[in-house]
Amino acid sequence: AGSGKFFVGGNWKCNGTKESISKLISELNSAKMESDVDVVVAPPYVYIEQVRSALTDRFEISAQNSWVGKGGAFTGEISVEQLKDIGCKWVILGHSERRHIIGEDNEFIGKKSAYALGQKLKVIACIGEKLEEREAGKTFDVCFQQMKAFADNVPSWDDVVIAYEPVWAIGTGKVATPEQAQEVHVAVRDWLKKNVSSEVASKTRIIYGGSVNGSNCAELAKQKDIDGFLVGGASLKGPEFATIVNSVT
Ligand code: PEP
């Protein structure tokens, strides 16, 4: 782990029922978690209030998406203002499922980031290459383009955590090796140094996501530039999520 405070996010995606979420809340509330870690969970919109009212203040809440501007006549969307109103402190933007299944592009994600940060909603900014891009030697190009779209829209990096999530590792059980993850984290930090500032490069947390679980987290957490994790599947199991939080070194 790096020098910033370790950060672990749980992305629940489009999973859960009132009942299963109530069970997960109890597991999280009773799990022993290192205090020196920021822990954030991202429930589906419809369960955010249930989670905020029952989960202890040890956890912060993130949304999984937000609308690109002020609310209004945008059927089916949820605004940043509404998310803040129900107690969200964070939003995940640029997640690969939104990029590649829903079709959000860098420009749209950049605009969403600008709007959220302008309203003081913090951003978990996701980047990551697809398998064919990695195989074509384009990992850095893709990640740097995604970084540029965020950087062009970020007024200050204080409220941003970067999540490097190789698409081929998300939900596949095929985790990046600690060396593969570390290599990209260093490159992203270097990009920040060259394109933003040394200060931002050293203080911005870069977390890894993609099939992180209770068994592989410890090796990944040892890497110098891995400042935490964004966890999908394994965040739906309270005890395993706690193991990942406690992998802080
Ligand atoms: C994610 O969706 O951000 C993620 C990393 O998923 P999983 O842990 O299931 O690969």
Task: Return the pLDDT at 101.
Answer: 98
Determine how many CB atoms are found less than 10 A away from the CB of residue 66: 28
Instruction: Judge if the beta carbon of residue 16 lies within 6 A of ligand 1.
Output: no
What is the SS3 assignment for the chain?
Answer: CCCCCEEEEEECCCCCCHHHHHHHHHHHHHCCCCCCEEEEEECCHHHHHHHHHHCCCCCEEEECCCCCCCCCCCCCCCCHHHHHHCCCCEEEECCHHHHHHHCCCHHHHHHHHHHHHHCCCEEEEEECCCHHHHHCCCHHHHHHHHHHHHHCCCCCHHHEEEEECCHHHCCCCCCCCHHHHHHHHHHHHHHHHHHCCHHHHHHCCEEEECCCCCCCHHHHHCCCCCCEEEECHHHHCHHHHHHHHCCCC
Q: What are phi and psi of 69, to 5 degrees?
A: -150, -165
Nearest CA to ligand 1 atom 4: 232
Q: With 0.80 as the threshold, say if the pTM is over it.
A: yes
With CA atoms as reference, report the closest residue to 166 among 179, 180, 187: 180
Residue range 112-170, pLDDT digits in tens: 999 999 999 999 999 999 999 999 999 999 999 999 999 999 999 999 999 999 999 99
Instruction: Judge if the beta carbon of residue 91 lies within 6 A of ligand 1.
Output: no
The C-alpha atoms of residue 31 and residue 61 are separated, in whole angstroms, by 17
| Model confidence band, residue 77 (pLDDT cutoffs 50, 70, 90) | very high
Task: Return the pLDDT at 249.
Answer: 84
Separation of 232 CA from ligand 1 center, angstroms?
A: 3
Q: What is the mean pLDDT of residues 78-97?
A: 98
| Model confidence band, residue 81 (pLDDT cutoffs 50, 70, 90) | very high
Tell which atom from ligand 1 comes closest to the C-alpha of 229. Answer: 5
| The two three-digit tokens of residue 152, written as one number | 């062009």
Give the contacts of 224 (CB within 8 A, at least 6 positions apart): 1, 2, 182
Instruction: Judge if the beta carbon of residue 170 lies within 6 A of ligand 1.
Output: yes
| The two three-digit tokens of residue 131, written as one number | 């398998």
Nearest CA to ligand 1 atom 7: 232
Q: Residue with structure tokens 């950087």?
A: 151
Instruction: Judge if the beta carbon of residue 62 lies within 6 A of ligand 1.
Output: no
ipTM greater than 0.90: yes
Tell which atom from ligand 1 comes closest to the C-alpha of 213. Answer: 8
With CA atoms as reference, report the closest residue to 4 among 161, 173, 123: 161
Q: What is the mean pLDDT of residues 3-9?
A: 93
Residue range 189-241, pLDDT digits in tens: 999 999 999 999 999 999 999 999 999 999 999 999 999 999 999 999 999 99
pLDDT at 36 > cutoff 90:
yes
Separation of 72 CA from ligand 1 center, angstroms?
A: 31
> Average pLDDT, whole number, for the chain?
97
Task: Return the pLDDT at 1.
Answer: 73
